[in-house]
């Protein structure tokens, strides 16, 4: 337990350390209209060393967002367009024979960057998806007999197009679980759409300035780890996750036949880490229940399996999460 003096000191320190969040937001808002939630979730992934799965129709500034963020942080950006004929070597790299020296050279692939946009990840076959997911999990890549560490910070933002399912290879549940957050991006509202239109009619499209270095993000990550999570908040997180596994024990018996599997322990870990990062973004040194409620849907929506019964009754994972949040007592 921390006493109030220590929390006050930590809070003041985190207010100072998190001042760069406002600068990032200011720069991002120059080029992206609206989409505040997407930008916030990108920052959560970046600050808590997690990866993000984005779902949304084309044209919602997904590529622009991660590209702009990498420019602001002066980091290396790679975009990999996933297609059915892509090979693992196209992602991680390969060995090339050098005739002059009569030996093999390593040609590193686009995965060797700080920010990776894996565009339409469900278009590529399983072996390519698993090559990317291994890099995400292990933060290293094996080419030939040697392993190479990937640069830090390392953030993968994978996109899925929800409209076309023909010729796609859906990610298996175990692999989707490796993404810290799954964010569903809505269309902009009418005012935002008009602002987007105006922005594209300008003679010079706005650009972002480089205001940070990758080292600043690595330093900020260690500060985010210090954000205080009280025992009551820890219990709240565990209750939410356990309610997805044993709904009957939490007065949610109606979902007992709707859930085929509940959230994994990764959900518990990621909810705590995302809660810390969210509090940091809000410039606070401690996590409150509202932080957990704010990020809960993105942490859990891809971690709850639904039965045919749930699908027949049009029950979604979001309906279940909403009911869990409404039922479990807030500390």
- Token duo for residue 202: 């300008």
Tell me, yes or no, if the two domains 4-218 and 228-327 fold the same way. Answer: no
Residue 185 preceded by cis peptide, ω within 30 = no
- pLDDT, tens digit only, all 331 positions of the chain: 566 678 888 888 888 888 888 999 999 988 888 888 888 999 999 999 999 999 888 888 888 888 898 999 989 999 999 888 889 899 988 888 888 877 888 888 899 999 999 988 888 888 888 888 888 888 888 888 888 899 888 999 998 877 666 666 777 777 788 899 999 888 888 998 898 888 888 878 888 888 899 999 999 999 999 999 999 999 999 999 999 999 999 888 888 899 999 999 999 999 999 999 999 999 998 999 999 999 999 999 999 999 899 889 998 999 999 999 999 988 8
DSSP symbol at 120? T
Widest CA span of the chain, in angstroms? 72
74 bridge partner residues: none
pLDDT of residue 47: 93
Question: At 165, phi and psi to the nearest 5?
Answer: -115, 0
Global pTM?
0.90
CA atoms within 13 A on the CB side of 288: 10
Tell me the domain boundaries of the chain: 4-218, 228-327
pLDDT of residue 308: 92
Give the Cβ contact number of residue 1 at 10 Å.
7
CATH superfamily of 4-218: P-loop containing nucleotide triphosphate hydrolases (3.40.50.300)
CA atoms within 13 A on the CB side of 86: 29
CATH code of 228-327, in short, is 1.10.8.80
Residue 284 CA from chain centroid, whole number:
21
pLDDT of residue 180: 94
pLDDT of residue 277: 95
pLDDT of residue 135: 87
Torsion angle, alpha carbons of 275, 80, 169, 318, to 10: 20
pLDDT of residue 145: 82
């Amino acid at each position: 337990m921390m006493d109030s003096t220590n929390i006050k000191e930590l809070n003041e320190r985190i207010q100072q350390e998190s001042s760069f969040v406002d600068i990032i937001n200011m720069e991002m808002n120059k080029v992206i209209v609206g989409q505040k939630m997407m930008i916030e979730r990108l920052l959560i992934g970046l600050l808590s060393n997690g990866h993000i799965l984005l779902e949304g129709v084309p044209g919602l500034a997904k590529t622009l967002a991660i590209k702009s963020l990498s420019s602001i942080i002066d980091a290396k950006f790679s975009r990999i367009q996933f297609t059915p004929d892509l090979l693992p070597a196209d992602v991680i790299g390969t060995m090339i024979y050098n005739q002059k020296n009569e030996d093999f050279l390593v040609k590193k692939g686009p995965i060797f960057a700080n920010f990776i946009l894996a565009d339409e990840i469900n278009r590529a076959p399983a072996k390519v998806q698993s090559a990317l997911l291994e890099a995400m999990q292990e933060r290293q890549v094996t080419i030939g007999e040697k392993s190479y560490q990937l640069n830090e910070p390392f953030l993968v933002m994978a996109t899925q197009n929800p409209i076309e399912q023909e010729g796609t290879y859906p990610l298996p549940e175990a692999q989707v679980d490796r993404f810290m957050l799954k964010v569903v991006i809505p269309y902009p509202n009418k005012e935002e759409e008009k602002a987007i239109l105006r922005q594209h009619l300008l003679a010079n499209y706005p650009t972002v300035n480089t205001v940070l270095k990758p080292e600043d993000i690595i330093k900020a990550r260690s500060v985010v780890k210090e954000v205080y999570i009280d025992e009551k908040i820890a219990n709240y997180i565990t209750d939410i996750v356990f309610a997805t596994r044993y709904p009957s024990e939490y007065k949610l018996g109606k979902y007992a036949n709707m859930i085929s599997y509940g959230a994994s322990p990764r959900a518990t870990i990621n909810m705590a880490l995302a809660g810390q990062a969210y509090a940091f973004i809000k410039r606070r040194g401690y996590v409150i229940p509202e932080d957990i409620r704010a990020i809960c849907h993105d942490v859990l929506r891809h971690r709850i399996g639904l039965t045919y019964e749930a699908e027949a009754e049009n029950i979604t994972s979001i309906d279940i999460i909403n009911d869990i949040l409404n039922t479990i007592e807030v500390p």
